[in-house]
Amino acid sequence: MNQDDDVTRDEDFQEVLKALLSGYQPFLEHELELARSTDALAKEEAANPPSCEDEITLANRLFASLANEDVAIRILPKDLRDRFGPADQWRWCLLHIRCCLLFGWLVCRTCSFRARAYYIERYWRCVREIIGTPVQAQPTAEERRDLQILVDALANAYKPYLQSELASLDARGVSDEIIAGTVDCDEGAQEASQVFERLLTPEFSRALLGSAAIEKHRADPFFNFCRCWCLCAIRFGCCLARARTLVDVYRCLAWYRRCLRDCFRPLYCELDKPFDCVPDEPNLDLKAMVVPIIGSAGGLGFTHYTLEWSTNNVNFHPTHFIYPPLPGNSTQGNSPVNNGLLAWLDTTTLNAGTYFLRLTVFGVNATHVCNGSFSLFKKDVAIRGVDNVFSLDTGWPDPAAMFVETVPALCSRPAGQFEMSFRNCLSIEGGAYVGGCDGRRVKRYSLEYKLGFETNPLSGGWIALPAPYNDIEYTTAAQQRAVNDRMGTSVLTSYWGPDCLVPIAFPPWCLLNDSAALLYPNSWYTHQPGTCDLSGLITIRLTVEDTLGGLYYDTQRVWIDNKPLTAYITIDSVPKCADLFVSNFAKPPDCGVPWNVPLRGIAFDELIDETLPPTRPNLNFDYYTLSIEKQGGPTLSIPIDPKDCCYFGTSRVGDPGTRCGVVIGPQTLGTLAQFDLRSVDLKCKSQVPCMQPIPDSFALERGTCCVYIFRLYVHDRSVSPCESSTAYADWPVKICNDLQ
């Protein structure tokens, strides 16, 4: 039997169909006349330029017959309309159904959100006029607020549909679906209809009808059905807008009648999705990982529905659900749903595993409960940190994310945020976990790297990290324990080591040992002794394979700096460990004039990549400092720039003439600072700027000598837990204060 037989083979349906076709007949006859005369067609076009008012006029002409009360009532199956008694008691609803029908037809002939918002306004005016509270020509402040609520509701109703359409632009797999016959010309029709279900929320209805009308009719037994009737009318109008033939019109009317019969169903519910193994997915609007809950909740007398979850099918929790429309609420769903989105389950903080769902539909005098279950599949495949640095400028899912730091202001150097680099031993932190579904867990994970910046994990040229942490395979039951799950910021550069599987509180303390049962953290040593390898920008790839053969990837760019720092200090006129006579520099020996000793040398950090510009992080130099220590006495810092009393040199000085130990040119010395010898003279030390107070124990009586050591420290900004990012040099001399 044809699926339409149950709703089309009675006198009422035939009368409504005749009335509907009577609206189409004049229109089609006029169109046929135009088809016979191109001149008449041209005149018609010239006399009637396109306008929105013409669209509305056409809609009213087509559906005028359906506005007849007798016809409108006959669309309801007789056994159903008798339940509500005389039409006088629910005429307020009957009258505004015409507006619902017109809105559905008009809005489905548009192409943009703004045009649909225009027809929302016309729909609003239509309803308000029919119920006797017409909108002012210049809307009041309250009316403006109501209209804004309607437009916001339209935006929230359309947003999931548009997001779904945007996601479908990822064409991978679509061709296979087309060939398999799972995609055809009707694709998306159900999703488009769900827009209207999301639209007709209680907030929308209050703004549409006005608070006074809502309060007046809230207690009517017909109140909840009226919403369902309006929704059916909107979708009927939309169906007619897309009808290409009268056969399509017939089908639309048959569907309309079935939709109205469904409005009289007792409370019902159904959980369609999720089931089996389901991964959570990010939701941009909710800023959460979610699993959409798809199903149905409605029926005669419907008021609302709720969802609950459990991990043991005993203790259920109403938390973590977000009910549409956006921005959503966490309490309940307030609108009936048919094969659509009931809620999002926020799984951001939930663990992988089996979840039981309970859907409860509430009516005026009854409830109805449905149950379901699914397995939540969690994937945590991410490189989040290196050497306990997690300061990515965006987030780990971004293939171009960079580890950044704020380089502080220092003397004349301004502060700024820059990409950072790492030296030698790299501890790589992150997640290498998949699980939550039976038979699907991590089989192995591996780490590789590639020179340069790469965003495609499937490209070639990847180099495995050295053993033992280049390939971690979970082969034994002991290795598959939860303690070895790599999640969050676990150390990925790990290796298998021993663990006690059966500990006891007395000797021998352990009844069962396993030599490869626990992952121990380690580091990847990138610096090859005697070379500068590995240095430069690289990309690290994490690959996770599950037990069903699925592969998951993440990549992360990292700068590695294994280039040497150079520190060298000298006094040109005074060899190391030789005597330095104050009189040679105190010219004249006047306390009011500096007695400068030029401290020369090299404070140099090689570029990580000599082919790139000298900017951070390629130029990783941080600063150098100078100090002088008196043998058996105090140490004083030497200002690099006495004018600003700055004790830090923030620019490289000199050049060692080598790169990675290979001579490329002559060594070049530069001036590191000037040391004022007045500092060592008891009579003149108080005149030295930037170094006050200078202790008496640091200075010399005239006619005495002592050993002093000039010390140079050169720093770069590389992060390394196992190797210093500082170079050191010194220049000891014996200073003799030979002044009279």
Question: Can you tell me the distance from the alpha carbon of 599 to that of 673, in angstroms, rounded to the nearest whole number?
Answer: 5
User: Does residue 651 have a pLDDT over 50?
Assistant: yes
Spell out a b/e string for 548-577, using b for 16 or more CB atoms within 10 Å of the CB, else e.
Answer: eeeebebbbbbbbbbbbbbbbbbbeebeee
Residue 564: pLDDT band (50, 70, 90) is very high
Question: Can you tell me the distance from the alpha carbon of 329 to that of 319, in angstroms, rounded to the nearest whole number?
Answer: 11
Are the C-beta atoms of residues 561 and 420 closer than 8 Å to each other? Answer: no
Spell out a b/e string for 409-425, using b for 16 or more CB atoms within 10 Å of the CB, else e.
Answer: eeeeeeeeebbbbbbbb
DSSP 428: E
Length of the chain: 740
Spell out a b/e string for 349-378, using b for 16 or more CB atoms within 10 Å of the CB, else e.
Answer: ebebeebbbbbbbbbeeeebebebbbbbbb
Residue 593: both structure tokens together = 């004039």
**Coil, strand, or helix at residue 705?**
strand
What mean pLDDT do residues 488-503 have? 96
Q: Which residue has the tokens 């017909």?
A: 222
Are the C-beta atoms of residues 470 and 446 closer than 8 Å to each other? Answer: yes
Ramachandran assignment for 537, one of left (phi > 0), alpha (psi -120 to 50 degrees), beta (any other): beta
Question: How many beta carbons lie within 10 A of that of residue 60, not counting itself?
Answer: 13
User: Does residue 563 have a pLDDT over 90?
Assistant: yes
Question: Per residue in 419-437, pLDDT tens?
Answer: 999 999 999 999 999 998 9
User: Does residue 719 have a pLDDT over 90?
Assistant: yes
Residue 403: both structure tokens together = 């580890």
Q: Which residue has the tokens 């290979």?
A: 662
Question: Per residue in 386-397, pLDDT tens?
Answer: 999 999 999 899
Are the C-beta atoms of residues 579 and 706 closer than 8 Å to each other? Answer: no
Closest-CA residue to 203 (of 327, 101, 118, 344): 327
**Predicted pLDDT at 172:** 59
621 residue type, one letter: F
**Coil, strand, or helix at residue 56?**
helix
152 residue type, one letter: D
Question: Can you tell me the distance from the alpha carbon of 243 to that of 241, in angstroms, rounded to the nearest whole number?
Answer: 6
161: Cα separation from own chain's centroid: 19
> How many H-runs (helices) and E-runs (strands) does the chain carry?
15, 33
Question: How many beta carbons lie within 10 A of that of residue 634, not counting itself?
Answer: 12
Helix (H) / strand (E) containing 94: helix 91-107
Closest-CA residue to 531 (of 478, 604, 606): 606
Residue 53: both structure tokens together = 């008012």
Residue 202: pLDDT band (50, 70, 90) is confident
Lowest mean pLDDT of 406-415, 460-469, 556-565, 587-596, name the range: 460-469
What CA–CA distances, in Å, run from 278 to 291, 377, 544? 8, 5, 18
**Predicted pLDDT at 1:** 34
471 Cβ contact partners less than 8 Å away, ≥ 6 residues apart: 444, 445, 446, 464
As a whole-number percent, the residues of the chain with pLDDT over 70 amount to 96
**Backbone dihedral angles phi then psi of residue 225, each to the nearest 5 degrees:** -65, -35
User: Does residue 3 have a pLDDT over 50?
Assistant: no
Question: Per residue in 445-495, pLDDT tens?
Answer: 999 999 999 999 999 999 999 888 778 999 999 999 999 999 999 999 999
User: Does residue 567 have a pLDDT over 90?
Assistant: yes
Residue 199: pLDDT band (50, 70, 90) is confident
Closest-CA residue to 86 (of 181, 222, 189): 222
What CA–CA distances, in Å, run from 95 to 67, 91, 108, 128, 328? 8, 6, 22, 11, 31
Spell out a b/e string for 195-233, using b for 16 or more CB atoms within 10 Å of the CB, else e.
Answer: bbbbbbbebbbebbbbeebeeebeeeebbbbbbbbbbbb
User: Does residue 302 have a pLDDT over 70?
Assistant: yes
Question: Can you tell me the distance from the alpha carbon of 308 to that of 717, in angstroms, rounded to the nearest whole number?
Answer: 52
What mean pLDDT do residues 681-699 have? 94
**Predicted pLDDT at 221:** 66
Lowest mean pLDDT of 97-111, 191-205, 226-240, 401-415, name the range: 191-205
User: Does residue 671 have a pLDDT over 90?
Assistant: yes
Question: Can you tell me the distance from the alpha carbon of 151 to that of 114, in angstroms, rounded to the nearest whole number?
Answer: 9
CB half-sphere exposure, 28, CA atoms < 13 A: 9
User: Does residue 42 have a pLDDT over 80?
Assistant: yes
Helix (H) / strand (E) containing 152: helix 141-167
**Backbone dihedral angles phi then psi of residue 668, each to the nearest 5 degrees:** -125, 125
Report helix angle 141-167 to 189-199, nearest 10.
160
CB half-sphere exposure, 203, CA atoms < 13 A: 19
User: Does residue 2 have a pLDDT over 60?
Assistant: no
What mean pLDDT do residues 297-318 have? 92
DSSP 687: G
Question: Can you tell me the distance from the alpha carbon of 592 to that of 684, in angstroms, rounded to the nearest whole number?
Answer: 8
72 Cβ contact partners less than 8 Å away, ≥ 6 residues apart: 66, 94, 97, 98
Instruction: Name the average pLDDT for the chain.
Output: 90
Closest-CA residue to 234 (of 198, 188, 202, 185): 198
316 Cβ contact partners less than 8 Å away, ≥ 6 residues apart: 308, 309, 310, 356, 358
What mean pLDDT do residues 324-340 have? 85
Question: Can you tell me the distance from the alpha carbon of 354 to that of 231, in angstroms, rounded to the nearest whole number?
Answer: 36
Question: Can you tell me the distance from the alpha carbon of 496 to that of 400, in angstroms, rounded to the nearest whole number?
Answer: 32
Closest-CA residue to 385 (of 365, 401, 369, 364): 401
**Coil, strand, or helix at residue 430?**
strand
